Amino acid sequence: MRFKTKNVHFQEKIQSEDMSKTKPIYQTSAFSFSDLEEMESFFEGNKSYFYTRMGNPNTDDLGKGVADLEGAEMGIASSSGLSAILAGVLSVAKSGDHIIATEDLYGGTYQLFAHELKDFGISVTFVDCCNREEIEEAIQENTVLLFTESITNPLLRVEDLEGIIKIAATHKLKTMVDNTFATPYLIRPHEAGADMVVHSATKYIAGHSDVSAGVLTGSRNIIMKAKAKVSSLGSNLGPFDGWLGTRGLKTLSLRMERQCGNAQKLADALKGHSAIRKVYYPEAAATRGNGAIVTIDLTDDKSVFEFSKKLEWIKIVPTLAGVETSISYPINTSHRPLPREMREKLGVTDSMIRISVGIEDAEDIIEVFKRALD
């Protein structure tokens, strides 16, 4: 199947007596067995489901759907993007190991890597992934993983995945790529050789701002280890959230096509405005588009709060990727955990606004931002 067809038909046809067109919600904490022998057969690999923390048809559908679109052997859904990242890290790293991560990354990931992983005995070095020498200098004897984002948050730098993955392969390191901003509609890191791809499925995968979820994809060997971590840590996704995420995933192509097109028009329209110091928007992310996020840096730090009050129907939220256009203030939300000196080094300023472009009429989006800027 081509991508857009696969996007809709990743679920298998239902073969039950009622032949429901859509898969029902398995809103259950556990599954029943006819006798103890049948229950034991789950542990022998002859039954698919036992206890929802260990697996559920709805959550499995979400993991499978994203894996199919990413071109991966298998996928696992979890309670959030961060829990999916943690499961991926713990599937390849143990106490005493070291990982390398790009310094240009989401603040929640920075918090996890810089602080929480210490309690697992895992150390992290942050590097400029544009600098090959800096990456190689950071590699230690106990380094096992290299982590980056396909399109970075909020500066929208498009990563040289092939170059980074080649470095990792040379040193026999595993790679994990956060593909949340690009989605498999634009970029598929597994095709460049990435071992794991992770999504905050809360964003474009589910797409409607009504579910919190994460998905990790990779080889069966890695994902089975990650699945065990998700179950043991209790970071599984609930059935209804899995169903919502799966429903949202089926319109990924349509949403991304519209949102990327709108974002390109908005970025072009805002360039050169006297109230904007710089417009951040990728120029050649992928053949299908350059993403649905536009970041602007206003000329005056103090004008940010006044600007936010003039946005009319544009929502102000601490997240992104719903069908409605919204804005976020990175230093106050997504990048709040980053130390100020790190934000300054990266160029994440106090006057920066991240725009998540929705599916509305592009002209209406452009007009409301221009009125607010004026």
d(CA 343, CA 112): 17
d(CA 56, CA 245): 14
According to the model, what pLDDT value does residue 45 have?
A: 84
Asked whether the beta carbons of 99 and 144 are under 8 A apart, the reply is yes
Q: Are residues 242 and 308 in the same domain?
A: no
What rounded mean pLDDT belongs to the chain? 95
Question: Which of 8-22, 87-101, 193-207, 250-264 comes out lowest in average pLDDT?
Answer: 8-22
Which of 214, 249, 284 is the C-terminal boundary of a domain?
249
Which domain range does residue 350 map to? 252-373
The Cα angle at residue 248 between residues 244 and 252, in degrees rounded to 5: 160
d(CA 6, CA 278): 38
Evaluate if residue 126 carries a pLDDT over 80.
yes
Kindly report, residue by residue over 249-290, the tens digit of the pLDDT. 999 999 999 999 999 999 999 999 999 999 999 998 999 999
According to the model, what pLDDT value does residue 206 have?
A: 98
Q: Are residues 363 and 223 in the same domain?
A: no
Strand arrangement of the beta sheet that strand 74-78 belongs to: 74-78, 214-218, 196-200, 174-178, 143-149, 98-102, 123-127
264: domain CATH number? 3.90.1150.10
Q: Are residues 290 and 339 in the same domain?
A: yes
According to the model, what pLDDT value does residue 53 have?
A: 95
pLDDT above 70 as % of the chain: 98
d(CA 57, CA 30): 12
Phi and psi (nearest 5°) for 298? Answer: -70, 155
> Do the domain assignments include residue 42?
yes
d(CA 190, CA 182): 13
Evaluate if residue 240 carries a pLDDT over 70.
yes
According to the model, what pLDDT value does residue 140 have?
A: 97
Q: Are residues 218 and 260 in the same domain?
A: no
Whether cis (ω within 30° of 0) applies to the bond prior to 154 is yes
d(CA 301, CA 234): 42
Quickly state the pLDDT bin for 101 (edges 50, 70, 90). Answer: very high
> Do the domain assignments include residue 19?
no
Evaluate if residue 15 carries a pLDDT over 70.
no
Q: Which of the pair, 285 or 15, is modelled with greater confidence?
A: 285
> Do the domain assignments include residue 13?
no
According to the model, what pLDDT value does residue 9 have?
A: 87
According to the model, what pLDDT value does residue 19 have?
A: 74
According to the model, what pLDDT value does residue 334 have?
A: 86
> Do the domain assignments include residue 22?
no
* Domains in the chain, number: 2
Question: Which of 9-13, 112-116, 262-266 comes out lowest in average pLDDT?
Answer: 9-13
Asked whether the beta carbons of 199 and 72 are under 8 A apart, the reply is no
Q: For the chain, where are the E strands, in sequence order?
A: 74-78, 98-102, 123-127, 143-149, 174-178, 196-200, 214-218, 276-280, 293-298, 315-316, 326-328, 352-356
Asked whether the beta carbons of 285 and 181 are under 8 A apart, the reply is no
Which of 249, 274, 301 is the C-terminal boundary of a domain?
249
d(CA 343, CA 66): 32
According to the model, what pLDDT value does residue 106 have?
A: 93
> Do the domain assignments include residue 277?
yes
According to the model, what pLDDT value does residue 46 have?
A: 84
Q: Are residues 329 and 293 in the same domain?
A: yes
Strand arrangement of the beta sheet that strand 326-328 belongs to: 276-280, 293-298, 352-356, 326-328, 315-316
The predicted model scores a pTM of 0.94
Which of 249, 281, 309 is the C-terminal boundary of a domain?
249
Q: Are residues 245 and 350 in the same domain?
A: no
Percent helix, strand and coil across the chain, each rounded to 5? 40, 15, 40
Q: Are residues 231 and 257 in the same domain?
A: no
Evaluate if residue 103 carries a pLDDT over 70.
yes
Place of tokens 């730090």: 301
Quickly state the pLDDT bin for 21 (edges 50, 70, 90). Answer: confident
Q: Are residues 201 and 294 in the same domain?
A: no
> Do the domain assignments include residue 100?
yes
43: domain CATH number? 3.40.640.10
Q: Are residues 78 and 171 in the same domain?
A: yes
Q: Are residues 256 and 214 in the same domain?
A: no
> Do the domain assignments include residue 351?
yes
Q: Are residues 206 and 283 in the same domain?
A: no
Q: Are residues 228 and 330 in the same domain?
A: no
Evaluate if residue 241 carries a pLDDT over 90.
yes
Q: Which of the pair, 343 or 297, is modelled with greater confidence?
A: 297
> Do the domain assignments include residue 225?
yes
